[in-house]
Amino acid sequence: QKEVEQDPGPLSVPEGAIVSLNCTYSNSAFQYFMWYRQYSRKGPELLMYTYSSGNKEDGRFTAQVDKSSKYISLFIRDSQPSDSATYLCAMSKAAGNKLTFGGGTRVLVKP
C-alpha cells in the first residue's frame, strides 16, 4: 500500500466549474501538506501549502486538511482552461524531512 494515494484521473470539467481534488494518506506523522501543479513537460510548481489541520485560501484555490481522517483536498473555483494540468499532493513529517508525493491527478478544463 502506498503511503499517499491519489486518483490519477483524468478529471474533466467544463470551464467555470469547481474542481475537487483529494489525497488520502496512511501515516499520521505527516504534518506539512502541499499541492503542486505540473504542466505537461514541465517541472512541478508549488501551489498551496498548509501546516497541520485546517483550511487555507489563496485566490481561486482552497486547500483543506483533515488529519483525523488522513485526507487532504484542493478546490479550484471558477476553473479555467489554463488550470489544465496534473496536480500532485505532497506531505512531510517534520521540518528537515523529505516530501512524499502522491501519484498526481490529471485535470482537463474544457472551454
Partner 1 sequence: NAGVTQTPKFRILKIGQSMTLQCAQDMNHNYMYWYRQDPGMGLKLIYYSVGAGITDKGEVPNGYNVSRSTTEDFPLRLELAAPSQTSVYFCASSPTGGDRLGYGYTFGSGTRLTVV
Non-local CB neighbours of 47 within 8 Å, separated by 6+ positions = 34, 35, 36, 37, 61, 74, 87
Which C-beta is closer to partner 1: that of 17 or that of 92? 92
* Interacting residues with partner 1 between 38 and 77 (CB under 8 A): 41-46, 49, 51
**Pick from 97, 104, 26: which is nearest to 67 by CA?**
26
The number of helices, as runs of H, and strands, as runs of E, in the chain is: 0, 11
Amino acid, single-letter form, for residue 87: Y
Stretches 13-21, 62-70, 77-85, 102-110: which one binds partner 1 (CB under 8 A)?
Answer: 102-110
Stretches 12-20, 29-37, 59-67, 69-77: which one binds partner 1 (CB under 8 A)?
Answer: 29-37
Which residues of the chain form contacts with partner 1 (CB under 8 A)?
Answer: 4, 6, 8, 32, 34, 36, 41-46, 49, 51, 88, 92-99, 101-104
